[in-house]
Amino acid sequence: MQSQDSISRDRTTPSVAEPRPGTPERARLRISAPAPSEQAVAALEGRRPIADPSERPRAEPKPPAKGPAPGRPGRATLFARKMLKTAATLLILALAVLAALVIWDSYVTAPWTRDGAVRAQVASIAPEVSGQITEVRVVDNQFVHQGDVLYVIDPFDFQVALDTAKAQLRQKAADLQVKTREADRRLHLSDLATTAEEQQQFTGAATQAQAAFDSAQQQVAQADINLKRTQVRSPVNGYVTNLLMRVGDYAHVGVTNISVIDADSYWIDGYFEETKMAHVCVGDRAEAVLMGYRDPIVGRVESVTRGISVSNAAPSTQGLPNVDPVYTWVLLAQRVPVRIRITDVPPGVPLVSGMTVTVTIRDAEVPESRSWRQRFVSLADRLSDIVRGGPEPSPGCIPRIGEVSGATVVLPTPRPAAPLNPEELNPGLAPGMNKTPRTH
C-alpha cells in the first residue's frame, strides 16, 4: 500500500511531463497540443473521413444536370469571343496596312513639298553715262512706277556736248546747202561755161557735204540721248531694295548701283522630288502656305523645269568626268523646280521674294471645295496607284520640248531722229542759187 504522502504527490503532479531545461518552445507546444481529430486530418489530406459506425449515414447529393455550370460560359459564347478576337486582329492588321499606305503616299508619292520659295524678277539698274550723282529721288523700299526718275547725274557736260553737236550740225548744213547749189548750177551750165571735170568735182563736194551733214545729225542724236540718260529711270513697277548710294557718289557706266523688284513678276518655285512628278501637270491648281500664315496663296502650275545640274558631268583632272560614288541601297531623289503662277493672294499676306512656302498640287478638274466623298475617292485612287507600282502618266500633262514658246518682254529703245533738210536749219541762206545763169 502506498502512503498518503505518495498519493497526495501523485495527485498534485501533472500528467504531462515537465520539459527539460533547454528544450525548444516548439517541442513544448507539440507536446502540450492536443492530437487532431480524424475528421480534421481527413480534410487536410483531401479524403473522406472514415465513417463512424455509430453515426447515421447522410444522403449523398445528386449530380447536377448536364449543361453549363453556373458562372462558366458555354460553347456558343466561347466561339463568339474567339471570332470577335480574330475579327479585331484582322481589323487592326488592315488598319495598320492602310495607315502604312497612307503614310507612304503622303511622304513619297503625294505631290506636295515643304521646299518652296517665293521668287521675283529684280531689275539691276546701271547708268549708261558716267558722272557724279547730284540728286537721289527715292528711298529704300519705296514703290516706284515705270518711268519714274530714281536719281540724276550731273548734266552739265552732256548739255555742252549737245549744244556743240547742234552747232556743228548747222555748220554742216550750211556747207551742204552751198555745195549743193554750186553743183546744181554747174550741171545747168553749157559746155562753153564749164567742163565735165568741173561738174564732177562740184557734185562730189556736194556728196561729201551730205555725208558730213548726216554724221552731224547722228552726233546730235547721241548727245541728246546722253543728256536724257543723266536721269536714270525705273524700267518696271516695283520696289526699290537695298539702296546704298547717296548724293555725291560717282556713277560708272555699266556698274549696278540700284535694284528694283518687279512687282508684276512674282511667282512661286516648288522643288518637288522626282518620285512625285507623275502627279504634277501643267494647269493644276496649287496651294502655297507661307510660314507663319494660315491662308494659302492660290496659283496654277505654269511650267516644269527641263534641266537641273548634274555633278557627274563636271570635268575633273585632265578633262576626265568626275563621277561621285553612291550607295546602291539608298538613293536620294533629285528635286525638280516647278514654276507656279500666282492667281490669288489672301489679304494681309505679303509677297516677299525668298520666303519659304509649302506647296501642294491639286487636280485641275477637282473643284476648290471638295466633299469628303471626293477626297476619299482621290485617296483611294492614289493608294491603288501605289499598289500598281505608280500612276498612269497623262499624255497631255506636260507639253513636249519645243511646243511652248515663252513670251518675251521688250523695252522701248531710242531710235535716231529722221534726217533733216538743210533748208530747215538755214532757211534763205543762198537765195536764187538754184537758178541757172541762162534764166538771169
Tell me which residue has cell 493644276. Answer: 284
Q: Are residues 129 and 189 in the same domain?
A: yes
pTM: 0.64
* Structure confidence at residue 197 (pLDDT): 76
In a domain, 225, yes or no: yes
Worst-scoring range by mean pLDDT, 56-60, 105-109, 146-150, 200-204? 56-60
In a domain, 351, yes or no: yes
- Residue 113's nearest CA partner among 263, 275, 252, 235 is 275
In a domain, 363, yes or no: yes
Domain count, the chain: 2
Q: Which residues, 6 or more positions from 164, have their beta carbon under 8 angstroms from its beta carbon?
A: 223
In a domain, 53, yes or no: no
In a domain, 372, yes or no: yes
Q: Are residues 127 and 239 in the same domain?
A: yes
* Domain endpoint, select from 371, 388, 405: 388
- Please write the tens of the pLDDT for every residue from 359-402: 999 876 555 555 666 666 666 766 676 666 666 666 667 766 55
Q: Are residues 199 and 277 in the same domain?
A: no
Which residue range forms the structural domain that includes residue 223?
122-258
Q: Are residues 277 and 335 in the same domain?
A: yes
d(CA 103, CA 97): 10
Q: Are residues 142 and 218 in the same domain?
A: yes
Q: Are residues 211 and 283 in the same domain?
A: no
Q: Are residues 189 and 236 in the same domain?
A: yes
Q: Are residues 300 and 384 in the same domain?
A: yes
- Please write the tens of the pLDDT for every residue from 264-290: 999 999 999 988 888 888 999 999 999
* Structure confidence at residue 40 (pLDDT): 57
In a domain, 105, yes or no: no
Across the chain, mean pLDDT equals 79
Residue 20: pLDDT band with limits 50, 70, 90:
low
d(CA 187, CA 181): 10
* Domain endpoint, select from 221, 240, 258: 258
Q: Are residues 116 and 163 in the same domain?
A: no
Provide the CATH number for the domain around residue 230.
2.40.50.100
DSSP class of residue 420 equals P
Provide the CATH number for the domain around residue 285.
2.40.30.170
- Please write the tens of the pLDDT for every residue from 398-433: 766 555 555 566 667 777 777 777 767 666 555 555
* Domain endpoint, select from 214, 230, 258: 258
- Please write the tens of the pLDDT for every residue from 80-116: 888 999 999 999 998 998 888 778 777 777 788 999 9
- Please write the tens of the pLDDT for every residue from 300-330: 999 999 888 888 888 888 888 888 888 888 8
Q: Is the pLDDT of residue 123 over 50?
A: yes
State the number of CA atoms in the 13 A half-sphere of 160 facing the CB: 3
How many other CB atoms sit within 10 Å of the CB of residue 137?
A: 13
Q: Are residues 254 and 282 in the same domain?
A: no
Q: Are residues 249 and 300 in the same domain?
A: no
Q: Are residues 231 and 273 in the same domain?
A: no
Residue pair 161/273 in contact (Cβ under 8 Å)? The answer is no
